[in-house]
Structure 1
Amino acid sequence: MIRLRLVLALFFSSLTVNSQTAQPVQATPPPQTARQALLEAFFGQGENHLERHLPEVAKKAFRQLDASSPNFLSQLSMMSAQAKAAGNSLQILETGPVLLAAEQPGAEKFEVQVDRDELVGDEDEIDLSFHMSRKGKPEPLPFIPRLTFMMKMEADIWRVNEVSFQAKLPLGDPDFLKDFVKQLQDKQKSSNQSYAMMNMNAIARAETSYHSASPTHAFTCSLSELSRAVKENTGENRSWMDESLATGKSNGYIYALTGCDGAHYKVVAEPATPGAGQRAFCSDENGTVRYAANGKATTCLSSGKPVNEAPRDDDY
């Protein structure tokens, strides 16, 4: 009987031990890295996620600001909210060479890359650089921006202890200058063409006004006369046509009026620099603005297409 009791005691004690060892052990989560803390500071979902990762001395200083008025912290929080509003287009990465990535309409991609993440004791220095690409090709920026965050451990929490910004313009780098100048030329080209279309519409409006007010109900082939007459007839201090347009040359285009009589006129706008890759524009008394991709006014007059059918410049 004693032996039976001993066997049963050993059996139940083994069950107790097995049940205890079978319970899952709660794994201790790994400590937050400085990079994760940086992301949480600017993109976290918790309350006061930014303040949590500021040094105590900074939080005490910022508490002196009027909470009801825009201040440094509220502006940072607003920037963070705007970034998060990108939704699914914004990728936040805790590991790897890319920290942030965002896809924009038109096959544009923006990346924040981690150039250095160096942990030394209770400090971690994180260097970030910014990159843009379009249709898989690098898009040059006007300058090369870099951000450095010095993270420091304080009360077992990584804090943003120091932020530095650097903007580099490598004027001695031929490759950078080549891309940079091309980018400026493309922007200038697009701007000139936009102004040209606005000027063509302004001339059409001015000709209609001039024709209605003219005793002979005729159109005029003089841009300066057109500008002066419209200003007088409308009583406005400023004409729809600016002073440079009245001279026949404005924003990289040369303008000319021909074939003016009581029923007709033609107006053309041709790039001041031939071969610059800009379109030519033309119109007549009907008011429809047309374009020619080769930059020739004669082509526009003979076979120009309406501007609303024009492809975007980057589709060429």
Structure 2
Amino acid sequence: MINTYLYHSDDHVSAGNEEQIALWQQDSTKKIWVDIKFDENDIEQHSELLATLGCHALAITDTFRKRHPPKLEIFDDHVFLLYKGIHAIENNLKYAHQQIAFFIGERLLITVHPQTSLGINAVLTAEQASGTFSPPIMIALDIIHKSAGIYLERTLDFENELSAIEDALRTDSSESALLQLASYKAELIKLKRIFNYHNLIFDQLKNFSDEDLPIDSILHAHKINDVAERLERLHSLSQMHYDICGDMIDSYISITSHQLNITMRILTVVTAVFVPLTFLAGIYGMNFEYIPELKYRIAYPALMTTMLVMAVTLIIIFKKKKWF
């Protein structure tokens, strides 16, 4: 599906389909946003359209790859940018990600994605409501900014979830809380990798001079820095939450190990006390006729006294060693 938004010199915007591309090509004062939502069956058709619009062949190939890390490439008349956008929010830190390709020129913006994009929908709604035209690079930056805002809002809310999990670790539901922490840690690893790629892209973009780019980036340097700062904050927050999850897991394991050591030490003390008593009981419980002490009148009280003294002595020794 192809949607086009043709921006006229009087700031009038007309929404339509790919037929508007011909109108844009005929008038050098017009600017256009071409939004392509594709599926597996029409990749070839969309590839041909991108080629007619001057997009580089290698960039087109990267656009339709199922999995490709975010990247930035500079061509003679456009900037190619791959961004990991959001199709849907599932729960907490889990998102349905999708790859969004941007082809950004002075008069042209092309967005290519396989599914509905939350960031594109938000910017499109804002653009239609304002009725004014934003340059192609501003629209692209706004899409990334909106998408990063969704990431940021969910990441900040995750702090409350971490507090709840920390409380749960002190209760009987600690096992399920530990499993949840491990799951969140796995999701945070994915987010860290995505945000790191995005940071690298915008570090590159900021380091390019205006002569290196086919678009006027100086006028939009503030917006570029704003998006870069938001992405950097996302990366640092995801790193912080990842470290917190790891620390909470390590703390729980350490506390559990300490409690287990205490239990094992008590069991060891009990065993150490009863082993010599069991040894004596085993000797005098044997059914031999000629055990000398069996004929003594005081044999039984003497044995019980001996066993009691041994038990008390061992308990006193272990108590002084603070084993229990």
| TM-score of the pair, normalised by structure 1 | 0.25
> Which has the larger share of helix?
2
Q: Which has the higher contact order (CA 8 A, sep 6+)?
A: 2
Higher strand share: 1
What is the TM-score when the length of structure 2 is the normalising length?
0.24
